[in-house]
């Protein structure tokens, strides 16, 4: 008991923290925007950090768009200082993993949206053509002979046939099993939820009896992607800002970064305090170092 964390900070403390750190990692949904709406003040904060010469990157588990699409979204929502090189999505990092880490030879069977497929093709990774005859079934459809990886991400057109094919490809122990992210669900503004990639991955894990390698947060791989593209990133100089304890705070913990929870998204401060005060010491990896109501609380720190 008495473990530190969850420190709610404001005013001069925020100013001090922003001065002390030189590398800021922002989660996207729930931190800088909600779906298609920017969080009030977020664009000003991000633009001001960049103009002050701070390094800023975005780490999102949303695998449904290629980076170019994110670029348009940043611009449209007023994040005018952001450049393509600052965007790290689970789809982009999955493409880098396949290309540079495992150097996949052969095709990738993708469960995911068109955007994920586009990101892979951009990196030169061949994907199995997804043009199934609507009448095809797992009893009579063709399977590609050279599938060396199955990659699972959020797919709003998931079919039983795709699930079945993925499970069949994974019978081959040489075929890699990757997941863009393991997010369970996402909030919609209507109060409904969207099942996340994790729910689809779980189905295939059950059917294949295998465990997927997760690329997105909380896996360290996203930070390795960032480190490989920004020379000399020192974890001690970084602040990871996110809204979800089980992805963002754990990611920061796994990578040795200071963490900040913002209360504009999924997790509540009470959940963070429960993790902090729990008997189980492993729960501390979910506890943010700092808490703010919104990243708009950074704004006064930029005033002279
Ligand atoms: N994946 C999907 C399909 C989503 O819709 C969302 C959020 O809306 C996310 C992942 C989570 O994104 P982030 O990591 O930016 O919070
Ligand atoms: Ca989020």
Residue 72 backbone phi and psi in degrees, to 5 = -60, -40
84 with 68: CB under 8 angstroms? Answer: yes
Could you give the 3-state DSSP secondary structure of residue 295? helix
**Ligand closest in space to the Cα of 245:** 2
**Ligand closest in space to the Cα of 62:** 1
39 with 31: CB under 8 angstroms? Answer: yes
Nearest residue (by CA) to ligand 1, atom 9, is 62
Q: To test ligand 1's pocket by mutation, which of 26, 28, 29, 261 has the most ligand atoms within 8 angstroms of CB? A: 29
- Token pair for residue 110? 């993708």
The residues lining ligand 1, judged by C-beta closer than 6 Å to any ligand atom, are: 27-30, 60-62, 64, 154, 183, 186, 194, 196
Could you give the 3-state DSSP secondary structure of residue 224? helix
Atom index in ligand 1 nearest the CA of residue 216 equals 14
Query: What pLDDT is stored for residue 275 in this prediction?
Result: 96
Would you say the C-alpha torsion 229, 230, 236, 241 has a positive or negative sign?
negative
β-bridge partners, 87: 58
Query: What pLDDT is stored for residue 130 in this prediction?
Result: 76
Residues in contact with 185: Cβ distance below 8 Å, sequence separation at least 6, in sequence order: 193, 194, 195, 196, 199
- Token pair for residue 222? 């996203």
- Token pair for residue 47? 């633009």
Please compute, for residue 286, the number of CA atoms within 13 A of its CA located in the half-sphere on the CB side: 21
Query: What pLDDT is stored for residue 2 in this prediction?
Result: 56
Query: What pLDDT is stored for residue 156 in this prediction?
Result: 94
Atom index in ligand 1 nearest the CA of residue 58 equals 15
Query: What pLDDT is stored for residue 231 in this prediction?
Result: 87
Digit-coded pLDDT (tens) for 12-70: 999 999 999 999 999 999 999 999 999 999 999 999 999 999 999 999 999 999 999 99
ipTM of the complex: 0.99
Query: What pLDDT is stored for residue 303 in this prediction?
Result: 87
The pLDDT averaged over each successive group of 10 residues in the chain (304 residues) is 83 96 98 97 98 97 96 98 98 98 96 96 93 82 94 95 96 98 94 96 98 98 96 95 98 98 98 95 96 98 88
β-bridge partners, 110: 151
Distance 59 CA to ligand 2 centre (A): 9
**Ligand closest in space to the Cα of 242:** 2
Name the nearest CA neighbour of 247 among 213, 277, 286: 286
Positions annotated as catalytic residues are: 27, 29
Query: What pLDDT is stored for residue 33 in this prediction?
Result: 98
């Amino acid at each position: 008991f008495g473990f530190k964390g969850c420190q709610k900070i404001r005013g001069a403390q925020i100013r001090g923290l922003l001065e002390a750190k030189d590398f800021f990692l922002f989660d996207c949904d729930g931190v800088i925007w909600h779906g298609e709406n920017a969080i009030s003040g977020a664009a000003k904060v991000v633009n001001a950090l960049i103009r002050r010469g701070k390094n800023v990157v975005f780490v999102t588990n949303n695998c449904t768009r290629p980076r170019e699409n994110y670029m348009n979204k940043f611009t449209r929502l007023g994040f005018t200082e952001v450049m393509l090189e600052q965007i790290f999505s689970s789809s982009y990092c999955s493409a880098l993993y396949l290309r540079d880490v495992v150097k996949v030879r052969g095709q990738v069977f993708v469960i995911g949206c068109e955007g994920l497929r586009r990101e892979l093709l951009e990196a030169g990774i061949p994907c199995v053509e997804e043009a199934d005859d609507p009448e095809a079934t797992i009893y009579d459809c063709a399977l590609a002979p050279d599938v060396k990886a199955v990659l699972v991400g959020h797919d709003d057109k998931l079919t039983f046939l795709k699930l079945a094919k993925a499970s069949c490809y994974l019978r081959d122990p040489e075929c890699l099993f990757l997941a863009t992210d393991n997010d369970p669900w996402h909030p919609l503004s209507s109060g409904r939820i969207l099942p996340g990639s994790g729910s689809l991955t779980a189905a295939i894990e059950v059917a294949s009896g295998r465990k997927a390698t997760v690329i997105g947060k909380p896996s360290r791989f996203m930070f390795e992607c960032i480190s490989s593209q920004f020379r000399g990133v020192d974890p001690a100089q970084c602040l990871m800002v996110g809204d979800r304890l089980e992805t963002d705070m754990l990611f920061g913990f796994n990578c040795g970064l200071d963490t900040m929870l913002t209360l504009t998204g999924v997790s509540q401060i009470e959940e963070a305090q429960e993790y902090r005060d729990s008997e189980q010491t492993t729960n501390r990896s979910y506890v943010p170092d700092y808490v703010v109501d919104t990243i708009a609380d950074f704004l006064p720190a930029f005033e002279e």
